[in-house]
């Protein structure tokens, strides 16, 4: 059982509330002798950091990470790596007016009903601020995988749908993703997306998004039968991210519409290499990686904190209404890109290590 | 770590290959003093049983379950319940011709690459026959939940999309689902579906499906923060089913297209009851059940075993082709309905027990 | 959480009551491509089998094991191995007279109080019959370790104290252990032990024992920091065996009486080999194997079922007394030798596999 | 798998090295609405703190604990509680001279062989400093248990053997334990112990100890069958403490010498109360608490860091010798008393919560 721990061998345990003194995580099961610097983690955290463009919340979250243990003279020792990020720019007063109300679409109601108590400031533990810890853990997983799998290994995510606007997936461009604040993979659509998002923002409204995360250079054989399938763990990883409501592997929900002929990814040998004619499977067959690119996508619902007044109840059971001011992302999905990448890295490393344990000969 | 075990407190471990002497599971963590008869389990297994209509494989699988332990004088004792189903009607010869080939869309290739050995008969461990064990475990979970939660509790699943054909979800009718072999919830579409599926079958082709599973009468508070979210575990449960490629909670992937106003399920009090104006959340907020109906849907890809010849390779790395004869379902998704129900029951019971451990006062 | 499962990567789940139709276990996480025959397991089970000499119970337990899954054409496939042993020679009537009474020293009272129900026949789930499953799982672990570690690897256990009679540990002789029904390692004491035990038996009394299990040929590095220490898991393994009340690693409880000088096992290099002048540590330093022989010992309390009448209460809360007839071992500790060996094999394999996952480079 | 995590439902994950910036732990699974102040934890930490008498190391470890999360307005919220203790008074230079040598009896050799890297300063992760985190977690467990079980619940530990000197267990006096720096329970022996320990210290030598921990007011029914036995988990808990080499439950190793008549704790009813004539079982029958006092004892080996020169090797495989100066406890066992109490509290709470999950009706 692990309420706040993710993973089996490479495991991280996160802690902290958005308006407490700090948040952080303990990363356990990291192999020894991996070079890790705070800067390696900081780079990933900075991708997630808000306040970087007009498209995200203007809250300043410095998200400066500190390594407290597990690294000696620049290298991991095989012992737990404790990471801490002190909280700053916390405006708890923003939340005074809503402390007794349950924001629709948020976990306020369910946390209170379950525990009989909740830290209402900024969502407390339910705040997406927790995901900074995931990104930090993911940065470590990435370093390990890059050492173990070499340069061919790469994880990259993008927003492939912004509200009602899709993009042309064939235009996917890794370099472009890294250069625009919407993590859009398709240069041809970016202007339209920006316009759309600004209008959403201006209206005090919000929209959802679809994020796709791809992993190249993953060897055949990661995953395990039945209840430790790679796709099962990836689905679990993505669904654990705040506001995620749907997960696809490869063709995903769309595979229901295909025929057996369309869906079967034919296999052929070209020289020594095994190839597949298509990748409806998203790189996973029977829960085990096939050597193809791993492709996972997930939907993030629109930010629940909006300006428009919504009906709700308070903790005394009275009907009331709520309108959330404060500084919120018009589309939380955008900042989910580095989080999805982090979770992909963590799951892949976990299964990579597990594979060593299962099949050592 | 648990390659073949599902669950945290209420746990089941499955074992067995499609063409071995038997399959079965060990159910651990079941509360004591619950009345369980073999017949309670048999009823659920019979829903999944093939050969019951012209729409499923004509293999006969009797699936007669035996209780070997954990039940004394008709009641559970709190000790592990071992269930066994002997395999019958196994035609291993059917598989001789393909023993060295990797069927596209199946796990043949990945299992062989991972383990260096595989039981090729009927897919061996990767066979969907394993799901009979889940249905058996789910039958036990159902009995426990019915005792703990009373008559208002009910889990029911249906096929809501058959290949390219959807249905009108507003016509959902529990009784009708139980009466048609396609688990179709919408009486108005059934004729069309039957016609469509027969044509698929006749062509030796196959199609995918979407299954939706609903749970009524679930109390507020099931689920746990961050990495034991109820939706995370449900997603994990459904993705672990053979051939599932996508999972939605409530509005799921579609929530990406909604605005914050459309998506927020407004809350209001009517008398003593807490109500929600809509259920985009699928009954889960912040990973914790809200008291609304829990709604999960998932996509099952088309059966990979089709008549049309497909390119593939064999275990010696040679290019070849394959055409799968044998007796296969034109749409494996149909038989996934009782499996989805079973997984829903297991996850709900697991979280119900976990909730007692977390919040006992 | 795992009420009936032992292990982390190499895991086994046991099930079954002494007077149910069968007992068995599911072994998960076993590496692929290991040759396993039913006979390999049977050999180990036969060591534990009662009724083999006048020193153990005269119940006949055939303990014939069957492999139901996970082995294909004589080799493991990496999928779960299900083992079953049908129960025979069950005289349930023996237990009718005591069905409402709690036998002192047994788990009757606590099981009933915890669960509100219990299978009273032969102790039900609390019966030491469960340990047959462990021996079976241990036989598989042994096969894997022998393949991975080679001929230098060997686990052997012995009774080193029988009631009030110790033995001279310096006379330890592997071959002699295998040849006497008391698993006594010291030829010079065996006659005395036999005489003593027969007198205990004749009196309808019972005595305790100390069992020592040794493992040679274990590589340096098995174990993990802090909460997966090798000695922690060995202690846990042995304490899980019925009637075990104390566990020692190396000098164990006696180490309290040593000075730092006496206790420190000095290290020196002789050629390429690292040597230790003594082995107070029992082959484990900081929870990690040092390459020395692993030495674990544990105490088994005297059989609780004795002829002499003892005071007790019944399930209605009335004072009463009990005298257990039936066919019982005068010293259950003797049959704990193969069980201790099995648990040692399982823990070592588990840590061997874990080590691959932790430190793969 | 959980290298640095202890527990199943009430779980804590520790991190940190003795000479890093800080140590700490994350406590997960703590029930909500429990009052916790830093001072509650500090009181327990102060018991373990060195430098308090001439009998322990003169290192100053302030061990000031800070709560970083999980507590809101003085009460637990059900979310993870992160605790941090900054390291002070670290004299890393003390360790320069031995950085390449493996101290006999320490984990230096095995850590280096396993991981190929180690933080040699003060033992790094293997340092007993890690146990401060356990004491902190135990303080939280204690608060929860006191609320749930009421005033009759109490855990108290003592040193019952100091090197070669035992004590008269019948003189056990709770109040006296709290008043002497050796946690001695027997007023009649204290002078002798003090004299003995000072002589050990003067000689630069060290001695071992036996610690006994008792829990009163534990309800019947804690524990779970077979592989989650209460005694199994207690044994595991105690064996995970640095330098512990043996664990007893009740009569422990001594039970081997008893006859069935001597060992059986007869049961009788006096009024409404169930009584036992003796407590050889240490309050646990079949792995489940009987309502009697829980009694666990364990042996701590003598401090390995002694003044006398010992033979050893260095990391380059050369023979050498070592004499450890620095500031060390002549008997580390003494400071193990609060650690043993903490582990007892943690295991009991874990099983208390687990029991709710298993047997909720």
- The pLDDT assigned to B94 comes to 67
Nearest to A359 among C31, C79, C358 (CB): C31
Longest dimension (CA), chain D: 71
d(CA D309, CA D205) in angstroms, rounded, equals 11
Q: Is C75 on the interface with B (CB under 8 A)?
A: yes
What DSSP string runs through B270-289?
Answer: ETTEEEES--TTTTEETTEE
Q: Do C310 and D264 touch (CB under 8 A)?
A: yes
More confident position, D138 or D327? D138
Q: Which residues of chain C make contact with A359, given a CB cutoff of 8 A?
A: 31-32, 78
Q: What percent of chain B has pLDDT over 90?
A: 85
The pLDDT of residue C256 is above 90: yes
Q: What percent of chain C has pLDDT over 90?
A: 84
Residues B156-174: tens digit of each pLDDT: 999 999 999 999 999 999 9
Confidence band of D67 (pLDDT split at 50, 70, 90): very high
The pLDDT of residue A21 is above 80: yes
What average pLDDT does the segment C79-96 reach? 83
Nearest to D225 among B31, B33, B79 (CB): B79
d(CA B171, CA B115) in angstroms, rounded, equals 47
Q: Do D302 and C111 touch (CB under 8 A)?
A: no
Q: How distant is the Cα of C69 from the closest Cα of chain A, in angstroms?
A: 14
The mean pLDDT value of chain A amounts to 93
- The pLDDT assigned to A31 comes to 96
Residues C297-335: tens digit of each pLDDT: 999 999 998 989 999 999 999 999 998 776 678 999 999
- The pLDDT assigned to A326 comes to 66
Q: Is C317 on the interface with B (CB under 8 A)?
A: no
- Chain A and chain B share a number of CB contacts under 8 A equal to 368
What average pLDDT does the segment B201-230 reach? 96
- The pLDDT assigned to A325 comes to 75
Q: Do B358 and D9 touch (CB under 8 A)?
A: yes
Q: Is B360 on the interface with D (CB under 8 A)?
A: yes
Cα atoms in the Cβ-side hemisphere of radius 13 Å centred on C7: 32
Nearest to D267 among C14, C102, C245 (CB): C102
Q: How distant is the Cα of D31 from the closest Cα of chain B, in angstroms?
A: 6
Q: Do C357 and A361 touch (CB under 8 A)?
A: no
Q: How distant is the Cα of A72 from the closest Cα of chain B, in angstroms?
A: 29
- The pLDDT assigned to D62 comes to 75
Q: Is D24 on the interface with C (CB under 8 A)?
A: no
d(CA B289, CA B145) in angstroms, rounded, equals 15
What DSSP string runs through C6-68?
Answer: E-SSSEEEEEE-TTSSEEEEEEESPPSS-B--HHHHHHHHHHH-SSSSTTS--------EEE-
- State ipTM: 0.96
The pLDDT of residue D1 is above 90: no
Confidence band of D225 (pLDDT split at 50, 70, 90): confident
- The pLDDT assigned to C67 comes to 98
Residues B65-91: tens digit of each pLDDT: 999 999 999 999 999 999 999 998 666
Q: How distant is the Cα of A143 from the closest Cα of chain C, in angstroms?
A: 13
Residues 242-281 of D with CB under 8 A from A: none
What average pLDDT does the segment A136-160 reach? 97
Q: How distant is the Cα of C198 from the closest Cα of chain B, in angstroms?
A: 36
Residues D193-213: tens digit of each pLDDT: 999 999 999 999 999 999 999
More confident position, C288 or D51? C288
The pLDDT of residue A186 is above 60: yes
Residues 79-98 of A with CB under 8 A from D: 79-82, 84
Q: Do C77 and B117 touch (CB under 8 A)?
A: yes
The pLDDT of residue B135 is above 90: yes
- The pLDDT assigned to D327 comes to 65
Q: Is B100 on the interface with A (CB under 8 A)?
A: no
Q: Which residues of chain A make contact with D15, given a CB cutoff of 8 A?
A: 26, 68-70, 79-82
Q: Which two tokens stand for residue B268?
A: 């209001």
The pLDDT of residue A167 is above 90: yes
Q: Which two tokens stand for residue C298?
A: 């544990």
The mean pLDDT value of chain B amounts to 93
Residues 212-231 of B with CB under 8 A from D: 225
- The pLDDT assigned to C90 comes to 65
What average pLDDT does the segment C183-195 reach? 97
- The pLDDT assigned to A63 comes to 87
Confidence band of A93 (pLDDT split at 50, 70, 90): low
By C-alpha distance, the chain B residue nearest A304 is B260
Triad A285, A287, A288: Cα angle to 5°: 70
Confidence band of B310 (pLDDT split at 50, 70, 90): very high
- The pLDDT assigned to B15 comes to 98
The pLDDT of residue C3 is above 60: yes
- The pLDDT assigned to A54 comes to 74
Confidence band of D141 (pLDDT split at 50, 70, 90): very high
Q: Which residues of chain C make contact with D233, given a CB cutoff of 8 A?
A: 236
Q: Do C104 and D264 touch (CB under 8 A)?
A: yes
Confidence band of A95 (pLDDT split at 50, 70, 90): confident
The pLDDT of residue B328 is above 90: no
Q: Among C348, C240, C214, C215, which residue's Cα sits nearest to residue C14?
A: C240
What average pLDDT does the segment D95-111 reach? 90
- The pLDDT assigned to B60 comes to 65
Q: Which residues of chain C make contact with D127, given a CB cutoff of 8 A?
A: none
Query: Judging by DSSP bridges, how do beta strands B267-270 and A273-276 pair with one another?
Result: unpaired
- The pLDDT assigned to D93 comes to 66
Q: Do A3 and D114 touch (CB under 8 A)?
A: no
Q: Do A15 and D77 touch (CB under 8 A)?
A: no
Q: Which two tokens stand for residue C125?
A: 């789930």
By C-alpha distance, the chain B residue nearest D79 is B225
Confidence band of C92 (pLDDT split at 50, 70, 90): low
What average pLDDT does the segment A345-352 reach? 98
Q: Is A2 on the interface with C (CB under 8 A)?
A: no
Q: Which residues of chain B make contact with D225, given a CB cutoff of 8 A?
A: 78-79
Question: Which residues lie below 8 Å from residue B110, measured CB to CB, with a gap of 6+?
Answer: A220, A221, A223, A284, A285, A286, A288, A289, A290
Radius of gyration of chain A (CA): 21
Q: Is B326 on the interface with A (CB under 8 A)?
A: no
Q: Do C360 and A353 touch (CB under 8 A)?
A: yes
- The pLDDT assigned to C193 comes to 97
Q: Which residues of chain D make contact with B32, given a CB cutoff of 8 A?
A: 359
- The pLDDT assigned to A129 comes to 93
Q: Do A119 and D72 touch (CB under 8 A)?
A: yes
Question: Which residues lie below 8 Å from residue D302, measured CB to CB, with a gap of 6+?
Answer: C255, C258, C259, C260, C262, C263, D163, D205, D206, D207, D208, D331, D332
- Residue linked to tokens 């306040």: A51
The pLDDT of residue B360 is above 60: no
- The pLDDT assigned to B100 comes to 92
Q: Do D163 and C260 touch (CB under 8 A)?
A: no
More confident position, D98 or B252? B252
- Chain A and chain D share a number of CB contacts under 8 A equal to 150
Q: Is A361 on the interface with C (CB under 8 A)?
A: yes
- The pLDDT assigned to A341 comes to 98
Confidence band of A227 (pLDDT split at 50, 70, 90): very high
What DSSP string runs through D213-251?
Answer: EEEESPPTT-S-SGGG-HHHHHHHHHHTSTTEEEEEETT
- The pLDDT assigned to C213 comes to 98
d(CA B68, CA C26) in angstroms, rounded, equals 14
Q: Do C1 and B11 touch (CB under 8 A)?
A: yes
What average pLDDT does the segment A202-207 reach? 94
Q: Do D29 and B361 touch (CB under 8 A)?
A: no
What average pLDDT does the segment A76-82 reach? 97
- The pLDDT assigned to A88 comes to 85
- The pLDDT assigned to C98 comes to 83
Nearest to D69 among A5, A17, A69 (CB): A17
Confidence band of B227 (pLDDT split at 50, 70, 90): very high
- The pLDDT assigned to B273 comes to 93
Q: Do B264 and A310 touch (CB under 8 A)?
A: yes
What average pLDDT does the segment A28-33 reach? 96
């Amino acid at each position: 059982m692990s309420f706040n721990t993710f993973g089996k061998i490479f495991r991280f345990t996160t802690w902290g509330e958005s308006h407490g003194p700090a948040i952080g995580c303990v990363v356990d099961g990291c192999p020894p002798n991996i070079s890790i610097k705070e800067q390696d983690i900081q780079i990933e955290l900075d991708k997630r950091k808000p306040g970087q463009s007009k498209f995200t919340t203007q809250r300043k979250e410095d998200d400066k990470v500190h390594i407290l243990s597990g690294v000696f003279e620049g290298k991991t020792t095989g012992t737990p790596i404790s990471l801490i990020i002190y909280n700053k720019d916390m405006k708890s007063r923003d939340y005074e007016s809503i402390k007794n109300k349950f924001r629709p679409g948020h976990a306020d109601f369910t946390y209170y009903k379950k525990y009989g108590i909740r830290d209402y400031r900024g969502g407390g533990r339910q705040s997406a601020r927790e995901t900074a810890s995931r990104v930090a853990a993911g940065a470590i997983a990435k370093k390990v995988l890059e050492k173990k799998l070499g340069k061919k290994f790469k994880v990259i995510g993008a927003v492939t749908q912004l509200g009602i606007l899709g993009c042309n997936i064939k235009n996917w461009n890794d370099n472009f993703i890294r250069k625009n604040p919407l993590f859009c993979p398709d240069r041809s659509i970016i202007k339209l997306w920006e316009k759309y998002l600004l209008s959403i923002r201006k209206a005090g409204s919000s929209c959802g998004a679809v994020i796709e995360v791809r992993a190249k250079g993953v060897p055949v054989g990661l995953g395990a039968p039945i209840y430790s399938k790679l796709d099962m763990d990836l689905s679990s990883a993505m669904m654990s991210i705040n506001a995620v409501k749907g997960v696809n592997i490869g063709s995903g929900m769309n595979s229901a519409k295909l025929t057996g002929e369309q869906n079967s990814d034919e296999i052929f040998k070209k020289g020594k290499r095994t190839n597949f004619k298509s990748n409806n499977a998203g790189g996973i067959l029977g829960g085990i990686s096939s050597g193809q690119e791993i492709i996972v996508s997930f939907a993030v619902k629109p930010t629940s904190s909006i300006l428009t007044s919504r009906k709700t109840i308070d903790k005394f059971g009275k009907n009331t209404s709520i309108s959330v001011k404060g500084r919120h992302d018009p589309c939380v999905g955008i900042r989910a890109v580095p989080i999805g990448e982090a979770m992909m890295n963590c799951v892949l490393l976990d299964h990579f290590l597990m594979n060593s344990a299962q099949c050592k000969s």
